[in-house]
Amino acid sequence: MNINRRIAVTAACSLLLATALAAQQPRPFQIQSPSTLAYSVKDGQQAVEITNVAYEMTNEGIPGLPRDQRLILRKTVHTTELVGDIGMEASATVQAWPLGVDLKQMPLYSLTVSGVDPRTVNAELLVISRGLEEVEWWSVYALGTGAHLFDTYVPLVQFSTTRDVQTLRYAGLEVPPDDITDPRLRAPNVVAVLTYSSADRVLREAIITCDSPTIARLLRSYADTTRKLTVDSNHRIMISISPSHTVAVPIAKDDLDVAHAITSTGLHVTVWNR
């Protein structure tokens, strides 16, 4: 499967400039962005092309921005689908402005990736669905800056590492595709990469490997293998990889305690650095 993993994130202005603009006396404005649909038939093949534009105002408390700062997001999703075929072509563009800034001005950031359904999580993250064919996966970005944090092939997991006051953390599991650019992740014994992240930076990654390249290939399979990631009451990240392989990685001192990870026979977990 050929998955487009090229990510274009362009910072349009500095945080200092954005803060200064937001501090100015806001002026009323109104803006419209039309959504469109085009239907066509060529050689008996029906095609539907849709562009949807949506606006969203975020909550306050975005990491990296002033505490009372909100953002206005313009989310544009363009899809082209051949009726009856598997998959589609799609791109998602997210642009962000500080609340009160006229959207005719340059955005704080703009990012465009192949994907659909951009959504915010806890006024901290931006998550975009990248699985346009048969494999579900997601890219996760810092909401305040648009910076790419990590990719995950299981639904994003969120949890708090403290009880009295929430300290939100996030986890994902990346299963490297065959065409991944990092040659280290093309090694035959690689199974997956576990990511442990805050809202604005990756805190730790750990790579899962297998003694048997044959089993590793099976555990990396998108078609023949299912995966699940959860966090239990003892603050352990639990990974289940069908048919019967498991990994448990404790969280200690706001970090992955790789030294005390428990795995099925033949699996190993070690610290990974990009």
pLDDT digits (tens, 9 = 90+) for 83-129: 888 778 999 999 999 999 999 999 999 999 999 999 999 999 999 99
Q: How far apart are CA 166 and CA 178, in angstroms?
A: 38
Residue 22 scores a pLDDT above 60: no
Report the alpha-carbon distance of residue 245 to residue 240 in Å, rounded.
6
Residue 20 · residue 13 · CB < 8 Å: no
State the sign of the Cα–Cα–Cα–Cα dihedral 271, 185, 248, 120. positive
At 123, which amino acid appears?
A: A
| Candidate from 44-58, 77-91, 195-209, 210-224 with smallest mean pLDDT | 77-91
CA-wise closest residue to 246 among 222, 269, 263, 268: 263
pLDDT confidence bin for 142, thresholds 50/70/90: very high
Model-level pTM?
0.86
Q: Residue 32 is encoded by which pair of tokens?
A: 């419209």
C-alpha distances (whole Å) from 188 to each of 131, 167, 208, 209, 220 are 24, 37, 12, 9, 10
3-state secondary structure of 11: strand
